[in-house]
Structure 1
Amino acid sequence: MVNADLSKTKGPLAGVKVLELGTLIAGPFCSRMLAEFGAEVIKIEAPDGGDPLRHWRVLKDGTSLWWSVQARNKKSVTLNMKTTQAQTIARALALDADIIIENYRPGVLEKWQLGYDDLKAINPATIMVRLSGYGQTGPLRDLPGFGAIGESMGGLRYVSGHPDRPPVRVGISIGDSVAALHGVIGAMMALRHRDVTGGRWNGKAGAESLAGQGQMVDVALYESVFNLMESLVPEFDFAGVVRERTGGALPGIVPSNTYTTAEGDNIVIAGNGDAIFHRLMLAINRTDLAHDAALQRNDGRVPRTAEIDAAIQSWCETQTIESALSCLRQADVPVGKIYSVRDMMNDAQFQAREMFEQHQFADGTSVKLPAISPKLSETPGRTLWLGPDLGAHTEEVLFALGYTLEQIQAFKEQQII
């Protein structure tokens, strides 16, 4: 539970300006996290419908419930980027931003004179996070690349599922989300470097030499997934080992698997630490295995994986999930039920950690959102507003740029905004 007084903090990123040029998941999730911790995030959307994610999955009054989370704390500005005037406005916003986050195909921003080199030539402190399927270089750079492709090329899909069946996907867009987290990490490191080398550009001609050094953060979806693949590369290079699908088990780490209880519930047991394995075997009344000298280390257990898993499964078949959890927790063995969202929302640990937030839509109906992670003791993140209506902040943002109300009205009439 976070004890900090939310009324006394604007978040650790207060004062940081972010421009989001992107749609759907990877780019918007990256900027969402910055917005949750106090950054001012201006999201550019097309006037004719906005971000497609507004209409994905379960809808309320025509707008996605997912949008409530993905765009919380962001300002929505509509710009028809096919027009020169909209590109000029976007360029002004980009030059004023501390961080620009984009997930178009490589080359799109360059067509609008909004590429990294274009902006850096004016503002050397420019930080641009570029998320794409294959990165900004290489023979595949121009191909479309969604998270599913990144998961496949990065190695995750190959090792997911059962050995006698085709690979399966995780039930969420994990490739996009992992790339987004890499984008956040890269943005924070780039921001730190900019600040220690001079800080923010003040926007005045001739002051470029006083600004800190910006940089481009090049995030490829497949590389972000690849970065999670543990010992895959050295195992193949050194020993010729290709990690394969192993169902619910963790290959080469024994025992760590999914087992089934007497009532058909699934339970995950991770007894792969040497001392934990000993306690686990005693808890399931297999003293023979607990004291078997050959099983005292993981490398001795791996050749006997099937025997160990069978012993655990036999015990689980005599237990309800409640009795299994109670017994193994008492023995200090890592164990857990596989949670559905219903389980989460009724769980005492989730409640104690305040992992759900209650909010209201404009019509007064309420909705729960996931709370913000990670939890910072002094400057926690917070939800200031749900995902905004399309273009809700256009006038506010353009007025702050120096445009008059008459000019803004003309932009509307010309379908620029």
Structure 2
Amino acid sequence: MQAQPSAGPLAGIKVLELGTLIAGPFCSRMLAEFGADVVKIEAPDGGDPIRQWRVLKDGTSLWWTVQSRNKKSVTLNMKDARGQEIARRLALEADIIIENYRPGVLEKWGIGYEALKAVNPATIMVRLSGYGQTGPMKDLPGFGAIGESMGGLRYVSGHADRPPVRVGISIGDSVAALHGVIGAMMALRHRDVTGGRWNGRRGAECIAGQGQMVDVALYESVFNMMESLVPEYDHAGVVRERTGGALPGIVPSNTYTTGDGENIVIAGNGDAIFKRLMLAIGRDDMANDPDLARNDGRVPRTAEIDGAIQAWCAARSIDEALAVLKSADVPVGKIYSVRDMMSDPQFLARRMFEQHSFADGTPIKLPAITPKLSETPGETKWIGPELGEHNAEVLRALGYDDEHITQLKRDGVI
């Protein structure tokens, strides 16, 4: 039975997002999906640039519908002292502040971590940047592509005889965002066990928990995913290289092409799985070869093993190959496009698509929220908002009256 929608495990947690594009906004997106009250600050003159990225509907990116779901959009001119003051007030009320500007930008606006911590010791600030808040490169611009390159991912991606390739999504930014979410949750836990939330209106009577800064560098987040790269080089002098679709040193695990031109991934690298795979493709000789019984014996004969599997695949359609290997309990899968996903029984059974609508009634499907929590699942309350849609709501909550809000709009502050 599917769990019923809930307020979410982060209900009551206030988040202020000061950032654009991918890393910071993806980090706060996940918090919003699980119930946090996220206020996103955007520039009045166009907002977050991602609003105009990739495929558009009526001038706004379809990506925006996902990246900013459940967030409240507030426009602020951060070059104006009044905009900075509003941001400061929002920051002091927030449990978590997420930002992905270059180091020093928030300090220039008077809302850096140390300035906020001096007033609110429970401040948790997640800072995502290309190179982190320290070091000789901290002031350089750093996008996800640079983080992927410096962190080691690009070097090992692609085929050995060709230049490194980009993974088909902004994986460096997304991995950094996930590190930001993990850091925020650990910091929130530490704050709660050391005293809890700060409430400035209670002044000295409040025992505030200890906040902290979560310093996330894009290149370090990618580097953190690089498995055994460091010990292999340090101890054995091995530099991991590009190997195409194969998993080096773990045999067989590769991409193979079927007779109808489709590509499948076969992971037959477990010892028992390898034997089942060889029997399934009619290579009893390999299945019963004692030299191939263990992975360390198979590695020197990688080309021979891959050749046998490819020859078998080339003589069959993808449906036939999948049926045979699945019946033999061999891990195998087609390489999916989004078209495949949208009609796949597993995706549908797991309810991996949500149906929503634009303001004009046009339907739009979004990816469902993950991970799936049994008692407090995530929920899409609304798709990405219009620019400044929540200005009045958020400013009224800060004590601004309608006349003041109108003046701020007239002056270009919001």
Residue correspondence of structure 1 range 136-215 to structure 2 within 5 A: 136-204=133-201, 206-207=203-204, 210-215=207-212
Q: Shift of residue 208 of structure 1?
A: 7.8
Match of 2:350 among 350, 353, 370: 353
Given the alignment, which residue of 110, 115, 140 partners 1:113? 110
Is the contact made by 1:258 and 1:266 (CA closer than 8 Å) also made in structure 2?
yes
Q: Does 1:374 align with 2:371?
A: yes
The answer for the alignment partner of 2:31 in structure 1 is 34
1:294 paired with 2:288, answer no
Between the aligned partners of 2:188 and 2:399, the Cα distance in structure 1 is 27
Count, aligned residues = 414
C-alpha RMSD of the superposition: 0.9
Pairing partner for 1:326 from 315, 323, 327: 323
Q: Does 1:239 align with 2:236?
A: yes
Q: 60-69 vs 197-206, which deviates more?
A: 197-206
Query: Please, which of 74, 90, 93 is the counterpart of residue 90 of structure 2?
Result: 93
Aligned to 1:265: 262
Which TM-score applies when normalising by structure 2?
0.99
Letter in 2 for 1:238: H
Offset at residue 207 of structure 1 (A): 2.8
1:209 CA displacement:
6.6
5 Å-filtered alignment, 1:70-85, equals 70-85=67-82
Contact between 1:124 and 1:208, CA under 8 Å: does it hold in 2?
no
CA contact (8 A) 1:149 1:222 kept: yes
1:22 to 16, 19, 22: 19
Q: Which amino acid aligns with 1:327?
A: V
Alpha-carbon distance in structure 2 between the residues aligned to 1:342 and 1:364: 24
Secondary structure at 1:121's aligned position in 2?
helix
- TM-superposed CA distance for 1:264, in Å, is 1.1
Give the Cα–Cα distance (whole angstroms) in 1 for the partners of residues 408 and 259 of structure 2.
67
Shift of 1:205: 6.4
Once residues 184 and 205 of structure 2 are traced to their aligned partners in structure 1, the CA distance between those partners, rounded to angstroms, is: 21
Alignment match, 1:49: 46
What residue in structure 2 maps to residue 3 of structure 1? 2
- Matches of 1:68 and 1:329, distance apart in 2: 37
Alpha-carbon distance in structure 1 between the residues aligned to 2:365 and 2:266: 31
Shift of 1:204: 3.1
Identity across matched positions, percent: 80
CA distance in structure 2 between the partners assigned to 1:297 and 1:122 by the alignment:
61
Q: 1:130 aligns with which of 124, 127, 130?
A: 127
Whether contact under 8 Å (1:123, 1:208) holds in the other structure is no
Helix, strand or coil at the partner of 2:188: helix
Q: Distance in 2 between matches of 1:209 and 1:308?
A: 67
Task: Give yes or no for contact 1:276–1:333 (8 Å, CA) kept in 2.
Answer: yes
Unaligned runs of 5+ in 2: none
Distance 1:115 1:300 in 2: 57
Stretches of structure 1 that go unaligned for 5 or more consecutive residues are none
Distance 2:296 2:211 in 1: 47
Query: 1:153 is matched by which residue type in structure 2?
Result: M
CA contact (8 A) 2:199 2:206 kept: no
Q: 1:410 to 1:101 in 2, by over 3 A?
A: same
